[in-house]
Structure 1
Amino acid sequence: MPLKYGPLRYGPLKFGLSLCLLGAFAGSSAYAQEQLKGVVELFTSQGCASCPPADETLRKLIQKGDVVGLSYHVDYWNYLGWADSLASKENTERQYGYARALGRNNVYTPQAVVNGRDHVKGADIQAIYKKLDSFKNAGEGLNVPVKAQRLSDEIEIDIGAGQGKADVVVAYFTREQIVDVQKGENQGKKISYWHSVYDVQTVGMWNGSSMTVKLPASVMSKAKNGGCAVLLQTTDAQGNPAAIIGASVLLPSD
């Protein structure tokens, strides 16, 4: 089935300034830094008939454990008869930010943005891994060490040294949700969604030197049953999201 294309709509990329609440996280990063191939951000919608195969692809990537996988539900297909229960305008704005950074005039679902540098069809796992491998071979992988861990009453994010400048971005997600879609193109389907992002926050700035960011215990008191990904992400000259040069994941304790 052909890709669904969303309407062209530009808006500023917005990151909230307040810290989102976190749950009780395990004592160290869920994935070993050395095994991570990169970051895959899937832009999807419950109202898009082309999206369930891509949602399944993301699940496979996450469960394999060699990428940081995140799912952003967009809201521009809500008019088709089913309002995506996980969508937000902020997720849509992030996708349009990538479109501007990549020189595109439109957005679509399902779209997988890889390492913030390029995009492929979201259901094509071979194309995703090919893109990840090409970035790694070109020295455009996750080259800056990022480690996130819970220490006593705070979450500590340690970032190594490197070149350039970047934002320290935290994307908070729900681990897994099953949604019973009752209307629209996916009517009657129960779809499993993994790592659906519900908030994105910028918590620091990195200037090439090693640094530590600490989030206080107060951010861990009323969380959803999910986790968070820490992204060391550059921006283009207009402030749009661009290359991701480091990443880590924290998941809740069992």
Structure 2
Amino acid sequence: MTPQFRKAIFLAALLFSGTAVAEDSKPPKGVVELFTSQGCSSCPPADTALRDLAFQGDVVALSYHVDYWNYLGWTDTLSSRENTERQYGYARTLGRSGVYTPQAVINGRDHVKGTDLAAINGKIDLLKASGKGLNVPVKASLRGKEIEIEIGEGKGEAEVVVAYFTRHEQVEVLKGENSGKRMDYWHSVYDVQSVGMWNGKSMKITLPGKLMGKSKKDGCAVLLQASGPGGEPAAILGATVLMVGRKKY
């Protein structure tokens, strides 16, 4: 068992210390990953758009706080180097020379400005219509003290990635470009783990773990994601969301 897999098991045990339910029985139509920062004056409208996407119920909406704006005077309390590295990985996948905030990456295949909710939904629909949507079924559920992930058949190879997030957090920003604002953040990712490989055939993955008491963490997304030649994140082929004790917003 690899260290990454052991960590995934531990996080899963913390996460599912209550009732866990799939967000919706209907497969999501797309995945939106917003790269944002508490120190970015252009980001608050994008954070609101991400909230609206989460409330839609038909999209896997995830927020990644990056750390490269921390030098402006405020250290983003939700930021991490890993989130920044994920965004730079997408830049390589998309053939870009740099990164920006707020950036919304759609299905790991394209990007738009994170403040434009209409453009985000339009890109999701366009990718789906062109065969680049979430075409491989992915399900996740809690069975007793185990998390069961089920993945259907399809073409290609991909990693099974679990992104753990906090449903909602409010932060008072004291310095920097958003100084004096009380900000609301939704589906903020705090850890991403690869828990298996998929080769086109249907499969199941079980994450065992003893329940370890209450946790403030609220859910996770399971992403079936291809990788680039250097291991960078690429196309997302399927996805689902698992929430603790909450079916809908």
TM-score calculated relative to the size of structure 1: 0.90
Answering whether residue 12 of structure 2 is matched by residue 22 of structure 1, we say no
Alignment match, 1:12: none
- Any idea what the Cα deviations from partners look like across 1:187-235, whole Å, max 9, x if unmatched? 0100100000000000000000000000113376563331000000001
Alignment match, 1:98: 90
Q: Which amino acid aligns with 1:56?
A: T
The CA deviation at 1:22 is: 1.5
Answering whether residue 57 of structure 2 is matched by residue 65 of structure 1, we say yes
CA distance in 1, matches of 2:86, 2:4: 12
The CA deviation at 1:32 is: 2.6
Written as runs of structure 1 = structure 2, the 5 A alignment for 1:108-119 is 108-119=100-111
Answering whether residue 33 of structure 2 is matched by residue 33 of structure 1, we say no
Q: Which amino acid aligns with 2:17?
A: A
Residue range with higher mean Cα deviation, 217-226 or 82-91: 217-226
Q: Which amino acid aligns with 2:16?
A: G
* Root mean square deviation, CA, Å: 1.5
Q: Would the alpha carbon gap of residues 84 and 38 (structure 1) be closer, same or farther in structure 2, given more than 3 Å must change?
A: same
Q: Which amino acid aligns with 1:150?
A: L
Q: Would the alpha carbon gap of residues 241 and 219 (structure 1) be closer, same or farther in structure 2, given more than 3 Å must change?
A: farther
TM-score calculated relative to the size of structure 2: 0.92
Equivalent of 1:192 in 184, 194, 197 = 184
The CA deviation at 1:37 is: 1.4
Q: Which amino acid aligns with 1:52?
A: P
Alignment match, 1:145: 137
CA distance in 2, matches of 1:44, 1:161: 34
CA distance in 1, matches of 2:211, 2:29: 29
Give the gaps of 5 or more residues in structure 1: 1-14
Q: Would the alpha carbon gap of residues 23 and 153 (structure 1) be closer, same or farther in structure 2, given more than 3 Å must change?
A: closer
SS in 1 for 2:210: helix
- Any idea what the Cα deviations from partners look like across 1:56-80, whole Å, max 9, x if unmatched? 0000000111100000000000000
Q: How many residues align?
A: 239
- Any idea what the Cα deviations from partners look like across 1:80-139, whole Å, max 9, x if unmatched? 000000000000000000001111000000000000001000010111011101111011
CA distance in 2, matches of 1:55, 1:238: 30
Alignment match, 1:11: none
Q: Which amino acid aligns with 1:207?
A: N
Q: Which amino acid aligns with 2:48?
A: E
Mapped contact 1:181–1:188 kept (Cα < 8 A): yes
Equivalent of 2:227 in 228, 231, 235 = 235
SS in 2 for 1:251: strand
- Any idea what the Cα deviations from partners look like across 1:36-64, whole Å, max 9, x if unmatched? 11000000000000000000000000011
Written as runs of structure 1 = structure 2, the 5 A alignment for 1:1-254 is 16-17=4-5, 18-19=7-8, 20=11, 21-24=14-17, 26-34=19-27, 36-218=28-210, 221=213, 223-254=215-246
Mapped contact 2:39–2:177 kept (Cα < 8 A): yes
Mapped contact 1:70–1:195 kept (Cα < 8 A): yes
Give the gaps of 5 or more residues in structure 2: none
SS in 2 for 1:128: helix
Among all aligned residue pairs of Structure 1 and Structure 2, give the percentage whose two residues are the same amino acid.
63
Mapped contact 1:25–1:227 kept (Cα < 8 A): no
